């Protein structure tokens, strides 16, 4: 365990598995006190317990990031247990529809934007407000996607939400930078998680991705976690409004 984030308090949404879990583990390993959040407490508890077993400090708080009361309760729980929040990683996301954009139903559209855009903004606003109230610097990290930077056939609504996250990141970075609050985004490519199994498990899609990647493998959650830890730390003290692409060189070609 390192001390790069010693005495820092971090909230990681979507922390019960995949990228969010890996980020939570890495931040704790670097010394942060971590609050993992997602909708289901029973999915979070084993993650928090294993982080504690490894010597880290972590609690689990169930939270629906589309609901402001739940967000306020999450932030309050973090402050009560560990102290004021310094770091937010917005990672909770959904992608309920795969197919032509013209055929998406309103219910799937609304759900995608509620979680991927409104949830990110409400979490960022809640954490930024308490940072501003105490005049403290902080780091907000939004997990976007390479699909937010290009056309996203068959995943159009998801891509649109991730493009919105990039725009949100840059606007908040500009508006909050004077207060010492940095806001950056990570744009992962194809990462092997349960969330991406429909893509990773499809041999044709997987071959198409790997043929285009400079690094001939699928990304792992830990590949994103290291970047998040960097952005959370003082090593990235002069970075804000940036979108770091982590895709094995897929968008390079």
Residues in the chain: 253
Instruction: Give me the long-range contacts of 119-123 (CB less than 8 A, separation at least 24).
Output: 119/13, 119/65, 119/66, 119/90, 119/92, 120/65, 120/90, 120/165, 120/168, 121/168, 122/65, 122/66, 122/68, 122/71, 123/11, 123/13, 123/65, 123/71, 123/88, 123/90
Catalytic residue chosen out of the listed positions 158, 166, 225, 229: 158
160, 153 contact by CB (below 8 A):
no
Catalytic residue at 97? no
Q: If DSSP codes are grouped into helix, strand and coil, which group holds residue 122?
A: helix
Rg from Cα positions in the chain: 17
List the catalytic residues.
158
């Amino acid at each position: 365990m390192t001390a790069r984030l010693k005495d820092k308090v971090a909230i990681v949404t979507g922390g019960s598995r995949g990228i969010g879990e890996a980020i939570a583990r890495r931040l704790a390993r670097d010394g942060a006190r971590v609050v993992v959040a997602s909708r289901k407490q029973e999915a979070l508890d084993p993650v928090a317990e294993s982080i504690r077993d490894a010597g880290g400090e972590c609690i689990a708080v169930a939270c629906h990031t589309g609901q402001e009361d739940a967000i306020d309760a999450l932030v309050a729980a973090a402050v009560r247990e560990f102290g004021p929040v310094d770091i937010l990683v917005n990672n909770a996301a959904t992608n309920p529809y795969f197919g032509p954009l013209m055929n998406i139903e309103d219910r799937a559209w609304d759900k995608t934007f509620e979680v991927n855009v409104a949830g990110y903004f409400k979490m960022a606003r809640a954490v930024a407000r308490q940072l501003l109230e105490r005049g403290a610097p902080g780091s907000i990290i939004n997990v976007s996607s390479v699909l937010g930077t290009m056309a996203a056939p068959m995943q159009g609504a998801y891509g649109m939400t991730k493009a919105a996250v990039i725009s949100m990141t840059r606007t908040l970075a500009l508006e909050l930078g004077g207060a010492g609050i940095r806001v950056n985004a990570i744009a992962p490519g194809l990462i092997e998680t349960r969330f991406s199994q429909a893509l990773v498990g499809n041999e044709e899609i997987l071959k198409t991705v790997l043929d285009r990647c400079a690094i001939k493998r699928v990304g792992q959650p830990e590949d994103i976690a290291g970047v998040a830890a960097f952005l959370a730390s003082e090593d990235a003290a002069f970075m804000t409004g940036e979108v770091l692409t982590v895709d094995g060189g897929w968008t390079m070609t």
